[in-house]
A and B are shown apart, each in its own frame.
Chain A
């Protein structure tokens, strides 16, 4: 399946951490949202056949994900509602599949933490950078962790996305600060396709 993909890098020092700084996560999220919204995208091809095997990493007991992606994105829904559980699963597998397609990430090196996110001090997933050469090249580091937060919306509203972005960034900083790496993955239904934005925090 084809996705519209954009990516952006931001400096971790831009985010406020100290008392003499102002809590500007909301404003920063708005800038991020604005910059990825109209950014040039590339067409990214995801191999449909690897999507179903990704269900070993997902948070909820849902199988047959490929069918669900096609049903949610490409079919007329009529009076039906989008399922939150399904969009959660879709966002997870598409993020992991993209990491594999673009940076050759081995799925076995991904540790999914979403099922224990209630701890409040951890993100959706983590990758040990020392095992992933392409990601090392991308981030310019050969060690450390990449912490991943994933957000999805099938009925996107700008204020909602900005709000969730700010929340995700705050959450990411708890575990990333100061020397590790972060990735915010935003999956949005955009008409009859999916748009995926990767925001790297270095």
Chain B
């Protein structure tokens, strides 16, 4: 599947608001799959027009050489294209290898982050919220405000 296996990572970066990294991964995937995606799409269209019943389509596709991997490639291409086009212009903060962003509403701070080297499950319960880390994905909700310094301490404990 070429480099597009990393596409979940692009989704994660888009989620925390790191559009630069997200666009970087998705662009690479778009470039890689562009040619084959067009070809696969053309072939599918051709085969579809020949099949009278929906339930005969899977076999018809395989017989004409369109395998599961090809359909996945086409979907990966389309997904990366969407990520690339629709990623908003935003930036994430960094603390010792953890990329994160804080969204503040009037009464709550939501922390989303990603840490490449973190493993397993770790939770930090606080008096005014919680922070959780699962296989590197970080999410937290804290009532009220939180300073960068305080958050850095909490992130440290989540590793």
Residues of chain A whose beta carbon lies under 8 Å from any beta carbon of chain B: 15-19, 21, 23, 25, 49-50, 52-53, 55-57, 63, 106-113, 115-116, 119, 121-122, 126, 128, 145, 147, 170, 173-180
Contacts and interface: CB of A to CB of B under 8 A. Distances in A.
Dominant secondary structure at the B interface: helix
The 7 closest A-B pairs by CB, nearest first: A53-B139, A56-B15, A177-B58, A122-B75, A116-B78, A17-B59, A173-B58
A56 B13 CA distance: 9
A53 B76 contact: no
Contacts of A111: 7-8, 76, 79
Interface of B: 1, 5, 7-9, 11-12, 14-15, 44, 53-59, 61-62, 68, 71-72, 74-76, 78-79, 82, 110, 112, 123, 130, 132, 134-139, 141
Contacts of B68: 145, 147, 175-177, 179-180
A17 B55 contact: yes
A121 B141 CA distance: 38
Contacts of A15: 55
Given A53-B139, A106-B135, A108-B137, 11 more contacts: A15-B55, A50-B134, A53-B132, A107-B134, A111-B79, A116-B82, A119-B78, A122-B71, A145-B72, A175-B68, A176-B68
Contacts of B12: 56, 108
Contact of B55 (A16, A52, A121): A16
Contacts of A108: 8-9, 12, 135-137
Contact of A49 (B57, B74, B130): B130
